[in-house]
Amino acid sequence: MIKAVIFDWGGTLTPWKRIDNLEGWRLLAEVLHDGDAERAAALADALLAAEDARWAAAREEHLAFTLEQVLADAAHHHPADVPAQVRESALALHREFWLGQMPTDPEAGPVLRILRERGLKLGVLSSTSWPREWHEDRFRSDGVLDLFDACVWSSDLEWTKPHPEAFRAAMDAVGVDDPRACVYVGDRPYDDISGAKAVGMRAVFVPHSDIPAVQQVPVDVHPDAVLHRLTDLPELIANW
């Protein structure tokens, strides 16, 4: 019997959208190097390169990382000696750029409420560099934070998906110890579906994300079901 449903975040609970990562870093860099366009552009390029390198390690070795580590990697070659208040302003601008473009799917709230009424535990497991509070502020503003029993972000972990320890951390967080009693819902065959299946969970694939080729890892895996709308999830798993 299913006891818990755990969701991916980007591309699953929030609709997939191509976003210019460099633009987000430019906004931050232009605050840190106000009035020096050349230094700001160099820092933005360094931040994007540092982020890409960290994501490459996540794909290849499943190593988790944080936003602060990306900033430190870039600052090693492009230091920005600024007051703490300026740094916080830069981070706030970067945060708003991203979170403003990644709202929670309007279908998520009603679906989560139906699943909660059935007595299911609900959780999130997301591979992310952002701090917990960024994500939870987004959920809070969209009225869904309180619908989850637990949210697990890889920025708080040693490993990203599809590492088994990431999925076990999510199970522990929602209080279910049998992976066969868990359903994982995600949009990436490698990170989400293969990772969930490897630990014994059932996996539901949401095939809507136009994932860039550089982020894809070929994998031969078969989900237990394919979901085209979140609103179909309660019926889909009703008899599992």
Query: For 178-236, what is each residue's pLDDT tens digit?
Result: 999 999 999 999 999 999 999 999 999 999 867 766 667 778 899 999 999 999 999 99
> Is the same domain home to 68 and 54?
yes
Domain tally, the chain: 2
Alpha-carbon dihedral angle through residues 8, 12, 13, 16, given to the nearest 10 degrees: 130
Strand partners, 203: 184
What mean pLDDT is predicted for residues 48-60?
94
> Is the same domain home to 130 and 226?
yes
> Is the same domain home to 67 and 185?
no
Residue 133 CA to its chain's centroid (Å): 13
Query: For 82-138, what is each residue's pLDDT tens digit?
Result: 888 999 999 999 999 988 889 999 999 999 999 999 999 999 999 999 999 999 999
Asked if 199 contacts 167 with a C-beta cutoff of 8 angstroms, the reply is yes
- Residue 141, pLDDT > 80, answer yes
**At which of 54, 79, 99 does a domain end?**
99
pLDDT at 82: 83
Q: For residue 17, name the pLDDT band (cuts at 50, 70, 90).
A: confident
> Is the same domain home to 90 and 160?
no
**Domain residues for 83?**
21-99
Q: How confident is the prediction for the chain on average, in pLDDT?
A: 93
> Is the same domain home to 115 and 84?
no
pLDDT at 16: 82
> Is the same domain home to 8 and 65?
no
> Is the same domain home to 109 and 69?
no
- Residue 156, pLDDT > 90, answer yes
> Is the same domain home to 13 and 36?
no
- For residue 18, the tally of other CB atoms under 10 A from its CB is 10
pLDDT at 53: 95
Closest CA to 174 of 118, 125, 113, 236: 125
More confident residue, 100 or 54: 54
pTM: 0.94
Query: For 23-47, what is each residue's pLDDT tens digit?
Result: 999 999 999 999 999 999 999 999 9
**At which of 38, 73, 99 does a domain end?**
99
Asked if 27 contacts 96 with a C-beta cutoff of 8 angstroms, the reply is no
Query: In this structure, what CATH number is given to the domain that contains residue 111?
Result: 3.40.50.1000
**At which of 65, 99, 133 does a domain end?**
99
